[in-house]
Amino acid sequence: MNKTAVVLLSGGLDSTVTLYYARSKGYEPKALTVDYNQLHKIEIKKAQTTTKLLGLDHCIIPIALPWKGSALLDTTIPIPKNRKAIANHEIPATYVPGRNTIFLSFALSWAEVADAQVIFIGANQLDYSGYPDCRGDFFQALQKSFTLGTKKGVEGAAIHIETPLLNMNKKEIILLGKELHVPFEQTWSCYQGAEKPCAACDACLLREKGFEEAGLIDPLM
């Protein structure tokens, strides 16, 4: 069986753990990063360090979106800070319209050209930030469109979207990362573009809670 897989790698904690998970399952990952002009571009450098370390094929695709509509793209929209109820079904200002659909559509294209049968994405719907494009039912629907809309799908060899972290909480993701020897210092979560994590945005708070519950020290802090 062909074990090539395209792995979406933002450089964040979840996608890096997912990359290591795919390798642990015997896949030969091709890493795909989309540079969508996010403020926290530092995550892309982390992703590059990781794939260099592992000697992986890595594509970074720059897309120049002429629109914004997200606090991750537009410095005039404040990034929410010190929120108490993060996953409270409100969609925060850091939501980027269409982001995972765009990322996965590029992954689909590469997967079909590279003859990969699997796409990995490190989304999770438990300890997450309230983004609708991180939920299982979204991936299921998109999967169906991938099966129907590709040559491989028509030929009965559909490309599958794998979401191994979907129902894990941050603590479990971090423990899995530890088991897989993920270099946590080479992952980035903070939404701010600064050199040190802000320790106040949703991404930082979720990460902090995860490390605390896992009984581990975050090397970035």
Give me the residues that bind its own copies (CB under 8 A), please.
Answer: 59, 61-69, 91, 95-102, 104-106, 108-110, 112-114, 132-133, 135, 137-138, 141-142, 144-151, 153-154
- Rounded to whole angstroms, the Cα distance separating 166 from 11 reads 18
Which amino acid appears at position 49 of this protein?
Answer: T
Strand positions, DSSP E, 115-167 = 118-120, 160-162
Angle between helices 42-54 and 13-24 (to 10 degrees): 20
Closer residue to its own copies (CB): 58 or 171 = 58
Q: In the complex, what is the shortest distance from the CB of residue 104 to its own copies, in angstroms, rounded to a whole number?
A: 8
Q: In the complex, what is the shortest distance from the CB of residue 217 to its own copies, in angstroms, rounded to a whole number?
A: 35
Q: In the complex, what is the shortest distance from the CB of residue 114 to its own copies, in angstroms, rounded to a whole number?
A: 7
Closer residue to its own copies (CB): 49 or 147 = 147
Closer residue to its own copies (CB): 135 or 209 = 135
- Rounded to whole angstroms, the Cα distance separating 147 from 129 reads 28
Closer residue to its own copies (CB): 68 or 83 = 68
Q: In the complex, what is the shortest distance from the CB of residue 24 to its own copies, in angstroms, rounded to a whole number?
A: 26
Cβ neighbours of residue 206 under 8 Å, at least 6 residues apart?
86, 127, 128, 129, 170, 189
CA 116 to chain centre: 19
